[in-house]
Structure 1
Amino acid sequence: MPAEPFPNVQYFAPYTAKGFTLNTLRSNEQLADNVFPLTWGLREVMQYAEVLLNKDDVDAKADAFIDFIGERVIDREFTDDGFSKTHRVQSFADLEDWFRDLLRTVEQQNRGEHWRTHHVATIRKVRNRLSNISTRCAGLVTDEGTVSDLPFGAFDDRAVYVVDVAGLEEDAQDLVFARVVTKLREHLERRDLGVNHVMVFVDELNKYAPADGADTYVRKMLLDIAERGRYLGLVLFSAQQFRSQVHRRVVGNSGTSLYGRMDADELATPGYAVLSPATRTKLATLEKGQLMVRHPHFTQPVFVRFPRPAVMRGRDGVERYPQAQEMTLDAAVARALRTLDPSITVGWVQEVAA
């Protein structure tokens, strides 16, 4: 592989909470040609509600009602005795309208504390938790259901797709990770992704698959990929400062491992006991750009020198292409329309909108 920048790279980022500009450092207009919005609606998020809901707060009764909504309400014609209209829920705004109609009907008809075996307190709890998703993930999850997604089913060969989640809250980051990786797996199983093999690069994997802590949806998914992803063509590539803090089943299924310079505390953990004292000493004194490679085909560790990057480093890029300031709605619309017609100005947008 030649040491040169990748020729086909696309960046995806959610909007800021205001919804005018993308929540990414790559907001300079000179970089806008390959930066695209990432937004999801109710249908895209509902399958992964478990990632955003606190399992200590949502009990089995609430889970049952959430399943009812997913199976009987979303994307279906739904009505009931006393409802003001027939609902077709396709967005969070539609879901809130459905909840209001449901609770109004229960109160007006004096049905007691239950509706279709579901307790009213459970209904109110689920309403609060689901309605809160679009607020907690503002910019990524939209109330009106607008969708701008990765090109699942039309991936280009040897292309790089970058999802920028640096500006998102932790819950929203978990949602992005869970949905993107799950969709990749589903398409690879059906052989309709557009490519046969995908390498998923994850920075700081110890955050998503820690050695200890709760058994989350994301961690279970990562363990499954690490153990059974090869037959699908799904390869997990990660980087982290502390390998000892990654779940042992992920580490144990790693085919190739690369080690940079590390401190004595990390080298003293049990995961490095298989290395000889001389190798551990060398790892503690590696020069910048040196790496150690471990692979089952090699009986001894191999030390290599990593080439200087052929791309602009992050700090250099920020200095050369500084982040654009928060735009007004008119300026954001004009910038988006300029991809279709470069002559469009903010003044023209203001005249049309007036």
Structure 2
Amino acid sequence: MDQIPGMDTIGPAVRLAGRAPSLHNSQPWRWVFDGSALHLFSVRSRMLPATDHSSRQLLLSCGIALGHLRSALAAAGWRTRVVYFPNPTRHEELATVEFEPAPIVTDAEREQAAAITVRYTDRLPFGAPAGWHDFEPLLQVMVDPFDAVVTVLPREARAELARASRLTAGVRRYDSAYQAELHWWAGHSLAATGIPPAARISAEERGRVDVGRALPTVAGEPRRTDIAEDESVVLVVSSGPSSRELLRCGEALSTILLECTVAGYATCPLTHVTELPQSRAVIRALTDRDEQPQVLIRVGTVPDSDRNPTRTPRLPLEQILEVSGPTTPVTE
């Protein structure tokens, strides 16, 4: 067997990595394949400085893409080894991915990779996640390899969590730079990035979700009217603050999102309550952890009829993958 995957493997894997969620669907990543390894770079032109001035969410987004890539390659029969920040003088070079043929591909690896195209961010209210007590103990096991921590917030913490969400919205309401950035990414007509109307919710629907970013609303008939209020479970994923820790936390998020999808749950990652010191302090107090809260995830169930919505767009492969070494062509 070849020791390096060809472009008929690399191309589809990078395309699947591009399905990772990112802040306002900004997709701040770029890949370079040199014929022997795959290199992940951040794209600073797709950073959102008013929302993410420290690049924290850019690193988390790129980490999720890295996790998706590794899942896709595992299902294709390749183990991966990641060297984080391989070049100290090139801060935009986040990781180098090296390859080794895998002796087998497990059913779990196939299921996780298949979940990449099924997963989507659902901002509507959720029903309570069925079978959660059996699933919850697996969460920390999922993220242990990435040195992240998962906290499942109890239902009684929901009021304080909603307060943190309102606090963030109140502060951001008068931040003109933030609002301009938000309305551009949720309002422009470019086909491949941003948050299209189909991925947003109405004012009535937002009134039934107590923890969510205040995106521009859309008109339309209310959906899921049988769910009077969101009954999701909320997870907090925490890590250290370094760039390496944030990138690996993104990989942990990838695993959680995909495994929740495999289990039949809907998910909605939330970062607005960890962007400002005031709301972040509330979340940290709720987790009672030394690590810093990075992302919250709503997890729940949705009607079967809602499980196949229109997917948000993604940049085409030629805009996120550069080939700089000897390769075989991509097989479409």
TM-score normalized by structure 1?
0.22
TM-score, normalised on structure 2? 0.23
Say which structure, 1 or 2, has more relative contact order (CA 8 Å, 6+ apart): 2
